[in-house]
Chains A and B, each alone.
Chain A
């Protein structure tokens, strides 16, 4: 009797043992990697250097800063390095769009929560203010070897709320900060500036998006060169212009180049605007503006549902067109948009009535909404439109 019992118990605890191992393995395999475009040009060397510096096993906490102008590819490089490194740490976290998120009231708190949750893999305690969040991060993460990316940091206080001191993270941890402003990178051990693409690289990237080839066909070479010149080696502009021209004939190209020519060199937003203006039909433009104002980082299903209710037809085709034009990205079911494109979209809305938010078609920040409601200047329909979109 006793021996039978022992056999049973041994095979049973082995089964439980295996169950626990499987749970652990699944947790370790959980895909942490992030979407990066398939066709990256001119980034290999820099990504490799950063990776080299961060992957050397040392017990100190290493911080790397990446800076450069908007649309140059800072976030993309950070993602590439993150994807290569993320499996070798006890925990990893990619905090996107820090500057935009922290503009909201108590906006640093959700970022602190995400940091704690991604690394500890459990719901973080209730954080009511960012000072409490700072204490929690410091207490809970200082023994963990982590990889953290702080993407698009604009001010020191944003960084302080997430990583006040190196000692907040455990030995061997690695941090990547991306920013437009190199002055927030004072504490970084290494900083890297991303430069504009060279002409041949630009042409290669542009051709891929415009012609699905790594080099332009002969009758498009001169036109391609013109576009590339106006994009100033900026990957985002090259991609968006390429996607905008894709499928157009030579005359179509010429008319777009004509518009590009009239926009000053430094006005990237103006150049991106050409692609917005080229969207066929008001509904397509509205879909873009809605996403720019309200739906970044939302589930695609949700966005489609709201847009569908607004326009009265299935917006799948519109979303697909926006994606083809590189104006939005869809990855793992989430809709995202580059911040320069977002700003361009919001500018389109803002300039319809620069001084009076109440006359705009969309209101996306608390300040304007408050202002409008206080002044009661808004037409009922306008409020209705914005609020419906927010509470859906």
Chain B
């Protein structure tokens, strides 16, 4: 007789634990496949828009922040959640990426997710920018950091630099590789059509950069 309430108790406790067993929990409903990080001023209406459309067309559930309003210091909750729950983060590095502290904060957060145990994939895209400029903060990134160093705490700036170095080292896609391939292609095109077909194929298969 005494066993009965005890049993029910056990079952009740386990019932609470069972509603959402951690091990079998998959990603939250409605979580994104891809999170897009980009500098709105640079690419919102051009490249990122084309990329977004193509991703959605391919059936890939993609998040891009439509909000053009300036943000506060903290990343808004819905953005943070989207970053954390996405399987892949695509970071579109353009010339102005580093001049936005929101972009840099976002990047720090993205890399945190990558290094966390969920093992998110980060795919950098170098849009008219050299990966080494991202890695070492040269070129337009250097200018941006001169300003950052005047305005922001040293600790924060260091964190941003570290993030750019890490992201610049990841294997990703470089538009310039592709563009060079096509310049080559157009030159050859005037010579023979056949040969151009070959170079087209060649440039397409060799455009993936592996850092």
Contacts and interface: CB of A to CB of B under 8 A. Distances in A.
Interface stretch (A37-45, A309-317, A358-366, A384-392): A37-45
Interface stretch (B103-111, B136-144, B178-186): B178-186
Contacts of B90: 21, 25
Given A28-B121, A87-B87, A215 B21 contact: no
A188 B94 CA distance: 46
Given A24-B173, A214-B15, A215-B12, 17 more contacts: A13-B175, A13-B181, A14-B175, A15-B50, A17-B178, A26-B60, A41-B14, A41-B21, A43-B23, A44-B21, A44-B22, A52-B117, A55-B117, A57-B115, A84-B117, A215-B7, A215-B14
Given A37-B24, A40-B23, A14 B14 contact: no
Contacts of B183: 9
Interface stretch (A199-207, A268-276, A328-336): A199-207
A7 interface: no
Nearest to A12: B182
B121 A87 contact: yes
A78 B33 CA distance: 24
30 contacts: A13-B182, A15-B50, A16-B178, A17-B178, A18-B51, A20-B207, A21-B51, A21-B123, A21-B173, A22-B54, A26-B58, A28-B87, A28-B88, A36-B23, A36-B24, A40-B23, A41-B18, A41-B21, A55-B117, A85-B119, A87-B87, A88-B121, A200-B7, A203-B7, A204-B18, A207-B11, A208-B18, A215-B12, A216-B11, A221-B4
Given A29-B88, A214-B15, A10 B204 contact: no
B50 A214 contact: no
A29 B87 contact: yes
Contacts of A52: 117
A18 B50 contact: yes
Residue in B7, B8, B121 whose Cβ sees the most chain A Cβ within 10 Å: B7
Contacts of A28: 87-88, 121, 123
Interface of B: 4, 7-8, 10-12, 14-15, 18, 21-24, 26, 33-34, 47, 50-51, 54-55, 58, 60, 87-88, 90, 115, 117-121, 123, 125, 173, 175, 178-179, 181-183, 186, 204, 207-208
A299 B15 CA distance: 35
Contacts of A33: 26
Contact of B11 (A16, A51, A215): A215
A267 to B, nearest CB: 27
Interface in A42-100: 43-44, 47-48, 51-52, 55, 57, 80, 83-85, 87-89
Contacts, number: 134
A215 B123 CA distance: 46
B21 A40 contact: yes
B54 A214 contact: no
A55 B117 CA distance: 6
Nearest to B116: A55
A215 B15 contact: yes
Nearest to B179: A13
A109 B207 CA distance: 34
B15 A25 contact: no
Given A41-B18, A215-B15, A80 B87 contact: no
Given A15-B50, A80-B23, A204-B11, A9 B18 contact: no
Interface in A83-131: 83-85, 87-89
Nearest to A221: B7
B113 to A, nearest CB: 11
Complex A-B, nearest 9 residue pairs according to Cβ-Cβ distance, in ascending order:
A88-B119, A215-B11, A200-B10, A214-B15, A13-B182, A55-B117, A47-B23, A204-B14, A80-B23
Contacts of B181: 13
Interface residues of A, number: 52
A25 B121 CA distance: 10
Interface string A163-181: 0000000000000000000
Interface string A205-229: 0011000001110000100010000
B15 A18 contact: no
Contacts of A20: 173, 178, 204, 207-208
Contacts of A48: 22-23
A29 B90 CA distance: 13
Nearest to A216: B11
A371 interface: no
Given A26-B58, A41-B14, A204-B18, A80 B24 contact: yes
Nearest to A52: B117
A32 to B, nearest CB: 11
Contacts of A26: 58, 60
A317 B138 CA distance: 67
Interface string A124-156: 000000000000000000000000000000000
B52 to A, nearest CB: 10
Contacts of A40: 21, 23-24
A204 B18 CA distance: 9
B175 A39 contact: no
A82 to B, nearest CB: 11
Contact of B178 (A13, A84, A221): A13
A80 B4 CA distance: 34
B175 A214 contact: no
A10 B183 CA distance: 9
B186 A9 contact: yes
B14 A214 contact: yes
B18 A17 contact: no
